[in-house]
Amino acid sequence: MLLDPRAILLFGANVLLLYLTLLVNSALAGWSIYLFLLGPMLVFPALYLRHQSYFICVLLTGLWVDAALPAPFGLFTLGFLCAGAFVFQMRIRFRAEHNYHPIVLAHGLNFFCILLVTLALGTPNFSSLGFWFQVFVTSLASHLVLLVVAPWFFNFERMLFALCHMDTEPEDFPIL
């Protein structure tokens, strides 16, 4: 099968997470706090899907995020594909049935996305102390909120698999 049906569910969950994050960000705009919660979007496609389905899911998610966020077009698509490919190659080392490893991966990928945006958009502002303070506040707030959002999001994705009667086990893992 060219596309695993779980890829469609994961893409839909990623769209929902981005939508909810943008809603919260619009409410926090008066305080100049911005949440950046893109890390969890890459974890389950890289851990659960085969190569073709993972690629299609992450590509569509990256294009969706590029269209929604104010960044140069293609930044998140290429960043998601590179970061997701790294996790995909290392996925044998992570346990996907519990939330500990996915949460750690989500924090690492979220940090990578924040670093990617900082390097891509902030080069004229590197000498400004206010810029680095804003990056620090955004990173801190995002990772603190990610401690609550990531377990919810991963359990939500697992619940979608169970409700749609899809396989809840990752593909291509050796039996331990």
Is the per-residue pLDDT at 176 higher than 50?
no
Is the per-residue pLDDT at 122 higher than 90?
no
- Identify the pLDDT of residue 25: 93
Residue 176 lies in a domain: no
Residue 175 lies in a domain: no
pLDDT tier at 73 (50, 70, 90 boundaries)? confident
Residue 93 lies in a domain: yes
- Identify the pLDDT of residue 1: 61
Question: Hey, what are 23's tokens?
Answer: 């809603």
C-alpha 135: how far from chain center: 18
Residue 152 lies in a domain: yes
Residue 45 lies in a domain: yes
pLDDT tier at 84 (50, 70, 90 boundaries)? confident
Q: How far apart are CA 8 and CA 171, in angstroms?
A: 16
Q: Identify whether the C-beta of residue 47 lies closer than 8 Å to the C-beta of residue 170.
A: yes
Q: How far apart are CA 129 and CA 83, in angstroms?
A: 29
pLDDT tier at 174 (50, 70, 90 boundaries)? very low
Is the per-residue pLDDT at 158 higher than 60?
yes
Q: Domain total for the chain? A: 1
Residue 169 lies in a domain: no
Instruction: Name the average pLDDT for the chain.
Output: 88
Residue 156 lies in a domain: yes
Residue 82 lies in a domain: yes
- The domain of 138 spans 5-163
CA nearest to 42, candidates 3, 75, 11, 70 = 11
pLDDT tier at 171 (50, 70, 90 boundaries)? low
Q: 9-13, 37-41, 121-125 — which is least confidently predicted?
A: 121-125
Q: How far apart are CA 113 and CA 91, in angstroms?
A: 19
Q: How far apart are CA 55 and CA 88, in angstroms?
A: 10
